[in-house]
Amino acid sequence: MQISTVGVIGAGQMGSGIAHVFALAGFEVVLNDISDEALAEALARIERNMGRQQAKGQVAEADMRAALGRIRTASELSAMADCQLVIESATENEAVKRKIFEGVTPHLSADALLTSNTSSISITRLASATDRPEKFMGFHFMNPVPLMPLVELIRGIATDEDTFATLRDVVERLGKTSASAEDFPAFIVNRILLPMINEAIYTLYEGVGTVEAIDTAMRLGANHPMGPLQLADFIGLDTCLSVMHVLHDGLADTKYRPCPLLVKYVEAGWLGRKTQRGFYDYRGETPVPTR
């Protein structure tokens, strides 16, 4: 199947980024969210981010305007009827995702492909909530989507070869690189990355180093572009905790136990950049460590 029209469900940071790259690559995009406010914010974010690319000479102004014209928004799942590929990018909560799939499948054509941008949840289980498990895959973009070149492709137990081949082709058309992962908790990137972040939080919790010392050590000592606690704030501490729960529950190994300090921050509503406080306080001109 030649994909030309793509539906994106969820207009948050990830969903808007996915819509951004598809529109720039020439696809027609339907961006869905239950919140009209979220849709308006997403369009503004996409235009702002494309504007940065245009200012740097990465995108011609005419191409930017054409791409923005290829995005339409909708608050109803019925708007996905003409989409040949649908990408769910809602919150990292299995019950929410299953409800979305149950709601959207009646509106789709029989040959439409259905995917999830989940960073950790079982693709096989999510596929079982649909009428097309053979046409279902994990389609995991990295954040921020316009800048990160990788897409993880995750097959469920029922995913057929045509679905995999079609989505691998779509990744190439986006100018990105795919990595094929098996359907185990957190796949490849987060299976490795989140335990590292969790260990950095344990290092803080146990008083081995301060926020600033830990991030400086990993930036300069391991040549990481961003310290692990700074990165946790960027990802969202609620998302980090969700992935650690998936790893801990799915693999039953105590090495994946979420750090109690991570739990405490999430319970406090200190979720990182999106709430202005996490391991850093972002309410001033420059971020200040909170511990």
**What are the residue numbers of the active site?**
119, 140, 152, 190
Q: How many CB atoms lie within 10 A of CB 82?
A: 14
The pairing of beta strand 136-141 with beta strand 150-155: antiparallel
As a whole number of angstroms, the distance between CA 104 and CA 74 comes to 13
Q: Assess contact for 107 and 86: CB atoms under 8 A.
A: no
Tell me the β-bridge partners of 88: 9, 116
DSSP label at residue 145: T
Instruction: Count the helices and strands in the chain (H runs, E runs).
Output: 11, 10
Within 8 A by CB and 6+ apart from 93, the residues are: 242
User: Which residue blocks in 25-155 are alpha helix, DSSP H?
Assistant: 36-55, 61-69, 94-104, 123-127
Sorted by sequence, the CB contacts under 8 Å of residue 106 that are 6+ apart come out as none
Contacts of 201 (CB under 8 A, 6+ apart): 229, 232, 259, 261, 262
For residues 173 and 169, give the distance between their C-alpha atoms in angstroms, rounded to a whole number.
6
The DSSP secondary structure of 177-192, one letter per residue, reads: EEEEE-SSTTTTHHHH
**Residue 198 to residue 82: CA distance in whole angstroms:** 42
